[in-house]
Amino acid sequence: MGLRRRTYYTILAAGVVIFCIAARPFAKAHLQAVAVLSAVGGQPVPEFARGLTVPVTTEDLSFPATATEQKQVQARLYFPVTKPNAPALVIFHGVHHLGIDEPRLMGFATAIASCGIRVLTPELPDIKDYHVSEYSVRTIGESVKWFAARTGGPVGVMGLSFSGGLALVAATDPLYHPDFKFVLAVGSQDSMARVTDYYRTGSDVRPDGTIEVLPAHEYGPLVLEYEYLEDFIPKRDIEPVRAVLRAHLYEDRTAEADASLGLNDIQKREAVELMDATSSVTRAKIASTIAKHKGELEALSPHGRLESLSMPVYLLHGEADNIIPSAETLWMASELTSDNLKAMLVSPVLSHLDLDGTKPGAIDKWQLVHFFALIMNAAETR
């Protein structure tokens, strides 16, 4: 998570202290939440919360994953040096080419570990290369199973972006279900088919029948096109055009310019068309792709599975998320039982995974602090 402007969490100090006096059982969790959000926002941890943080060390490791094709999962473990038997949490990265080396993820994992929680961040190779696949569901399940065995019991799980939806899918699998203590999905999908159709229409229906209208960020449609490129252009053009799209998604302008030099005139037009999801041709191809891959998209969707869960679920979404619209979290909330849905927040403080929402108020910021306090408390509960 990143922050483009100065955060306001430190000015909530007085409110946090007052609240903590009134609600002593959650005092520590709220102070931890302030510490985490301050650190993630690039601000010093407030003096009143600093005493709860400890030094953090990291270890790069790998572990066997017998149910996956890769057989070994690469991961990074963050642990508080003074608490070797600290509670455990697994965080799965979103769609980003840096994977577990993405700076926002590293900062977030470090901040949580500094509050006395062991944090594992496994690498999801397909997600890292902008492929949202069923293969990642198995990697998520195997990672949770391994960490639960290593730490002696079920572990908390946090999934960012598409990984949050995939974590919920993994949690419904009887093979992995016992190893999940809870799931937090941040900015995640309920239905992949509905999200991909959002890339075509710029709108997503909510459970109450109202429509969320928000122009989609180009990132979303490009991930879909990159995944199913054979549906959009002739086979002979796939590899050179894919190189351009990959560099564009990786935000490597030099590589994108170099790859573009290798395109012929037809391929150049195809690349330009793919980067314009508003064109009628691209929209028609997106609709065709959704229909063609309906089964695959369902396999990547928590939709229709959530009633089978018997664990706490927490849902967080940015109000102005234009990659996965917040209507998706409302759908997940509507499908979960009241016993399992512990908290849901659609917050103007967030966009997609960044703390850069527009003009959030003090109450909005406090609600986010309280939400993260619930997560910290859940993570520490044995």
Q: Say yes or no: 258 and 332 in one domain.
A: no
What pLDDT is attached to residue 55? 93
Residue 202 lies in a domain: no
* Across 153-162, average pLDDT: 97
Among 90-94, 237-241, 364-368, which stretch is predicted with the lowest mean pLDDT? 364-368
Q: Are residues 181 and 246 in the same domain?
A: no
CATH classification of the domain holding 51: 3.40.50.1820
Residue ending a domain, among 254, 271, 297, is 297
Do 147 and 290 have their domain in common?
A: no
pLDDT band at 2 (very low <50, low <70, confident <90, very high): very low
Positive or negative torsion for Cα 331, 112, 347, 337: positive
Q: How confident is the model at residue 21 (pLDDT cuts 50, 70, 90)?
A: very low
| Domain presence at residue 323 | yes
Asked whether the predicted pLDDT for residue 258 surpasses 90, the reply is yes
User: With bands split at pLDDT 50, 70 and 90, how would you rate the model's confidence at 344?
Assistant: very high
Clarify whether residues 286 and 322 are in a common domain: no
Phi-psi domain of 152 (left: phi exceeds 0; alpha: psi -120 through 50; beta: other): left
Quick check: 10 pLDDT over 90? Answer: no
CA distance 226 to 212: 25
Would you state the pLDDT for residue 84?
84
Nearest C-alpha neighbor of 196 from the set 168, 225, 230, 159: 225
pLDDT exceeds cutoff 50 at 27: yes
| Per-residue pLDDT at 17 exceeds 60 | no
If asked whether residues 78 and 48 sit together in one domain, one would say yes
Look at residue 40 and tell me if it is in a domain: yes
pLDDT of residue 335: 96
Q: Is 35 contained in some domain? A: yes
Domain boundary, last residue among 253, 269, 297:
297
Rounded to whole angstroms, the Cα distance separating 316 from 185 reads: 6
Stretch 160-165: mean pLDDT, rounded?
97
Q: What is the mean pLDDT of the segment spanning 282-298?
A: 94
111 — pLDDT class (breaks 50, 70, 90):
very high
Assigned domain for 166 exists: yes
Whether residue 183 sits in one domain with residue 230: no
Closest CA to 331 of 191, 202, 184: 191
pLDDT at 373: 93
In a domain, 197, yes or no: no
pLDDT confidence tier of residue 26, bands split at 50, 70 and 90: low
- In the predicted structure, residue 11 carries a pLDDT above the cut 60: no
pLDDT of res. 357: 64
> Is residue 97 over pLDDT 90?
yes
133 and 227 assigned to the same domain: no
Question: Same domain for 236 and 352?
Answer: no
Last residue in a domain, options 297, 312, 336: 297
Asked if residue 24 has pLDDT above 80, the reply is no
In this structure, the answer to whether residues 22 and 68 fall within a common structural domain is yes
pLDDT of residue 4: 45
Q: Note whether 178 and 72 are same-domain residues.
A: yes
pLDDT classification of 279: cutoffs 50, 70, 90: confident
Domain count for the chain? 2
Residue 207 falls within a domain, yes or no? no
Residues 6+ apart with CB under 8 A from 210: none
Stretch 351-372: mean pLDDT: 81
Question: Residue 53, Cα to own-chain centre: how many angstroms?
Answer: 25
Average pLDDT over residues 313-336: 96
Short-list 274, 285, 269, CA closest to 249 = 274
Question: How high does pLDDT run on average in the chain?
Answer: 89
More confident residue, 350 or 173: 173
Contact 353, 381 (CB under 8 A): no
Mean pLDDT, rounded, for 275-292: 91
User: What is the pTM for the complete model shown?
Assistant: 0.90
List pLDDT tens digits, range 172-207. Answer: 999 999 999 999 999 999 999 999 999 999 999 999
Provide the domain limits for residue 124: 9-192+304-380
> H helices within the chain, ranges in order?
13-22, 27-40, 47-50, 103-113, 125-128, 134-151, 162-171, 192-201, 219-227, 238-249, 253-261, 265-274, 280-292, 294-299, 327-335, 362-380
320 and 259 fall within a common domain:
no
The reply to whether 160 and 259 lie within a common domain is no
Q: What is the mean pLDDT of residues 155-169?
A: 98
